[in-house]
Structure 1
């Protein structure tokens, strides 16, 4: 349960940083205004995304709301079995990113379960937010953990796992 607490703490940190940065962006940036951070590489530009990545599926916001809710529920369920620090970080980051996007979908304009995600970090062809960066990094780490064969849960004791169950007739 200690790892579960760390997962929740990381998720809360991601949620707070992302929502605070979105609050700042909405209050400080005009829709469409571009502020160079690193000229010709990164700019700040306020946009509202009704779809998924690259604004795909803009007319199906409710599907993204349901998907985010299911993802949050699945991570909360799976997180109870955490046994390694690396998977704790991955699930905590994924939970934070999914939760903050879910909150945007639920409570931002134009209405409940149809809200648009606030994006303001413009990387050329892409515009995103802090949660997007965290989600991308945690998915990359998830892939790396899988490629390296790092198990989600600690394996059961090999002896007890390999012994056949004894029956009372033996």
Structure 2
């Protein structure tokens, strides 16, 4: 028997058996555990979840950390309080007090025992009056009570000024404080004595003797202007600490989502 038929049979057997071996090796590779980050899974290490790869989990965690940092930064910016306004309060109160004292000194020097001075065609007169009462000639004879009230007002304004962060409130309280201290100084240091001193008034509207409008001074104007400012801010729901209260809108249900009655 020749060797050629035998060699042909061996070649055909080898060719016929090759696909079976290849299929077996591919099946074995598919049954092996998934490789780790370095190419092979380590012993005892859990395989990544099939629903979410490990890299996606890491990226998701980094995104959460970034969102948390952004939220913290936004909170620190939007939650910051306004700057204190005590400096504005002090400057305005000091300016009102200085102007009030200066005008009263000039009134005593030039208007006492003199005829009234007409200004602006009779719309305003410079005259001289010693007032034992409150602003615009009210509460005459209660000088010592008014002095105690002025002390209380000044002390209250200084107490709340620690948390003063509203510019509007700083203006209003500064005007009231300067005017209250200006008239208080008259009651403490002018005749007839401490806590009984008469306040100097020298401004009169439309009449030289205060028969249309009571005679007043710079301190009175500051007290009235500051009081009006504070009332307007309170009506607008603006607090002295810088917060603004706003009514929450009433929720409106869509017409298609209303429950049947």
TM-score range, shorter chain: 0.7 to 0.9
If asked which structure has higher relative contact order (CA below 8 Å, sep 6+), I would say 1
Contact 2:175 2:223 in 1 (8 A): yes
Q: Could you tell me how far apart the structure 1 residues matched to 2:139 and 2:166 are?
A: 36
**Alignment gaps of 5+ in structure 1:** 157-170
1:166 aligned residue: none
* Secondary structure, counterpart of 1:127 in structure 2: coil
State the TM-score, normalizing by the size of structure 1.
0.85
Q: Indicate the structure with greater strand content.
A: 1
Equivalent of residue 234 in structure 2, options 143, 146, 160: 146
Say what the alpha-carbon RMSD is for the aligned residues.
1.7
Residue 111 (structure 1) aligned with residue 193 (structure 2): yes
- SS at 2:192's partner residue? coil
TM-score (norm 2): 0.57
Equivalent pairs counted in the alignment come to: 156
1:83 and 1:153 in contact (8 A); partners too:
yes
SS of equivalent to 1:39: helix
- Structure 1 residue 53: Cα displacement: 2.9
Residue pairs, 1:29-48, within 5 angstroms:
29-31=111-113, 33-48=115-130
Distance 1:60 1:146, change over 3 A: same
Larger CA Rg, structure 1 vs 2:
2
Q: Deviations over 1:129-162 (max 9, x none)?
A: 1111111111111111112111221349xxxxxx
4+ aligned runs moved over 6 Å, structure 1 = none
What residue ranges of structure 2 are gaps of 5+ in the alignment? 1-82, 207-212, 245-261
